[in-house]
Amino acid sequence: MTTQAKIALSSLVRRTSNTEALKTQIKACGATLSRKGRSRNWVLRANNAQIRHIIEIINGADEDSWRWLATKLVDNMPPTSREEILALAQQNPAITVMQLVIATDCSPAEAREVLDALEWTV
C-alpha cells in the first residue's frame, strides 16, 4: 500500500498566479487538494508517484510562481517504501540500479536488494 503524504500549503492562492490551472493539474494526477476550513491554507494529500508527477508538471510549466510549490514538495516528500520500489521494478523489468535510485530516491543498496529479490523469485 502506498503511503499518502499530507503537505500543508500556506497561502496557495496568494502565492501563485493562474491557480485554477495548477489545482486542475494537481487533481488530474489523482492527488487530493483541499482547503483547511475557511483559512487561506490548503492541504495536499498525495503518494510519492503523484508528488513526482506534480513536480514534473510544475517544472514543465511556464509559471514561475509555481516553483515554490515544487521546492516544498521535494522537501516534504516521504521516503519511498520497499513495496513502491518493488512495484516500480516489476513494472520495468529491464530497469537498472541507477535508474531505480533516480526514480525512487532510494539508496543503491536498497535498489540492488529489490532487484536481487526480483531475480531470485522469477
CA–CA gap between residue 106 and residue 83 (Å, rounded): 12
Instruction: Report whether pLDDT(122) > 80.
Output: no
Tens of pLDDT, residues 63-120: 899 999 999 998 888 888 888 888 889 998 889 999 999 888 889 999 999 999 888 8
What is the chain's Cα-based Rg?
16
Q: What is the predicted pLDDT for the residue at 115?
A: 92
Fold of the CATH domain 5-76: Alpha-Beta Plaits (3.30.70)
User: By the 8 A CB rule, do 103 and 56 touch?
Assistant: no
| Mean pLDDT of the chain, nearest integer | 88
What's the distance, CA 109 to chain centroid?
22
Q: What is the predicted pLDDT for the residue at 2?
A: 62
The mean per-residue pLDDT over the stretch 33-61 comes to 89
Instruction: Report whether pLDDT(58) > 90.
Output: yes
Give the rounded percent of residues in the chain with a pLDDT score beyond 70.
98
Q: What is the predicted pLDDT for the residue at 32?
A: 93
Instruction: Report whether pLDDT(53) > 80.
Output: yes
Rounded to two decimals, what is the model's pTM?
A: 0.74
